[in-house]
Chain A
Amino acid sequence: MNSDKITKYILFGASLLILVVAGGMLYSLVEGSLPSFRVFGWKFLVSPEWNPTQGDQHFGALAFIAGTLFTSIFALLVAIPLAFSTSLIVAEYFRKTWFANVVSTCVDLLAGIPSVIFGLWGFYALRPFIVSIGLSHQGFGIFTAGLVLAIMIVPYATSLSNSIIMMVPNELKEAAYSLGATRLEVIWNVILPNARSGITASYILAFGRALGETMAVTMLIGNANILPKGLFSTGNTMASVIANEFGEASGVHLSSLIEIGLLLFVITAIINATGKYIIKKFA
């Protein structure tokens, strides 16, 4: 065999290995979920009760599904105005200036900070502040976790929409300016309509990241296995209940956690696929 062929087989083997690992992961998630599925069936998805006490065991994922969606949607709603303004500043108003450079470098740096550090900051800085202004007694809950999560996903929402906004052809903007449009009119009537689907996709992908974020959320959400009652209520997300309980769990309890993992896997896969599809289709 010549070296060309050998290289090809090695590369092929490596990429095949990734496929096998991904497939294996999905397989073990499904297999691990079966005991729980046999006991609770589809009711697992709609039951808010989570009781690991021996003898009285009952598991349902609704509290965590709700906690995850609630936290992530709140985070997204906070992140969008921040990300949107940042994108317009970096990709349009201050495009190619030192200021845009500084801002986008900082935003990119934010993406590289380990999530446990966001958690720590939330715990020691944000949480006491929330208590001091009287929004909540302990400072834990959906609100605190969601705020930190919002900051964490801003870089993801921003960097993609920046490049989408920059891709809007200059000649279209010039056409609008030549018709007497102001900068704001150019932004609303030319840049945004042309970049709309790409910007939407970048927010969907950021949402996908928020769904699965574990460490910082676990440190701040209060880890109460209940349906969250409001923005300042404590709760738990799918990712954080797994992180909290997998160590002591066994039997059906463990299987239920694995089933939650499977659910999260499927949901994030769908969200990511949707975002990527929109980008491919429209951008």
Chain B
Amino acid sequence: MAPAASILSIEDLSIAYDRDKYAVKNVTATVRKNAITAIMGPSGCGKTTLLRAINRMHELYPNISTEGKIKLYGDNIYEMPTIELRRKIGMVFQRPNPFPTMSIYENVIAGYKLNGIHLKRSERDEIVETTLRDVTLWDEVKNALHKKGTFLSGGQQQRLCVARALAFKPEIILLDEPTSALDPVSTAKIEDLLVELKQHYTIILVTHNMSQAARISDNSMFMYLGELIEYEDTKTMFTNPKDPRTEGYLTGKFG
């Protein structure tokens, strides 16, 4: 599949936590810009590993080895400084993890603070407000900006974490099962938000929830035992899967 405007191309990527035990095997795929790409597959098939390879968070594990390339607009990310890369590719985690020692306001601009980038007061206010509006949290927290982010509900905390990832205006946002710890209402809000955000950002979403992938994603990857088995337009994959393993997963035979 060759999407129209691609932003990221994964080229023959293999990742092993321990020597010869591959968690991701020879994955090749191109990710479309301003679209939501879902990564699905049974537990342990390598979704998180693949996702983390895209902003090199997987390198935090000491013995990991990576072969192959990932190119962002044609530049190999493994030759970029990680700091620069991670500002271009933001991440949202499975469990909401706002910084408990920081206020809501500080959480939004945490990226700037962590990187030692000094902003004027007015610039900071501006970034905080627009970003919180982008994640539809502004109206709920505008009177509590200086309270701790950990007082918010789980769903609000997760939207705050999306805001934190957006504050740098990254190219891509990676989300690893961002709604698996949330209730249905909060989940729906995050899903609406992601659909909204794809106008300006490219979204890659790991999800266990097939109906979520069906609802909001444009393209879907199906992984199995570290391999990318099928990568399709989401509609095509759900209506007409090519590989029997994809079909088996989608019809609930395993996973």
Residues in A lying within 8 Å of B, measured CB to CB: 169, 171-172, 174-182, 185-186, 189-190, 193-194
Contacts and interface: CB of A to CB of B under 8 A. Distances in A.
Nearest to B167: A179
B115 A185 contact: yes
A189 B113 contact: yes
Nearest to A189: B114
A181 B101 contact: no
A185 B114 contact: yes
> Secondary structure of the A side of the interface?
helix
Interface string B85-107: 11100110101010111100000
A178 B91 contact: yes
B164 A194 contact: no
A181 B57 contact: no
A230 B185 CA distance: 68
A190 B110 CA distance: 10
Contacts of B100: 172, 194
B168 interface: yes
B114 A181 contact: yes
Given A171-B93, A172-B100, A175-B93, A180 B60 contact: no
Contacts of A175: 93, 97, 99, 161, 164
A89 to B, nearest CB: 16
B95 A171 contact: yes
Interface of B: 55, 57, 60, 82-87, 90-91, 93, 95, 97, 99-102, 110-111, 113-116, 161, 164-165, 168
B57 A178 contact: yes
B93 A174 contact: yes
B65 to A, nearest CB: 18
A174 B115 contact: no
A179 B110 contact: yes
Contacts of A169: 97
Contacts of B115: 179-181, 185
Contact of A178 (B90, B101, B116): B90
Nearest to B95: A171
A182 B111 CA distance: 11
Nearest to A194: B101
A180 B114 contact: yes
A178 B86 CA distance: 6
A173 B100 CA distance: 12
A44 to B, nearest CB: 45
A182 B83 contact: yes
Contact of A177 (B57, B84, B101): B57
A169 B83 CA distance: 21
A190 B99 contact: yes
A189 B55 CA distance: 21
Contacts of B87: 179-180
B168 A179 contact: yes
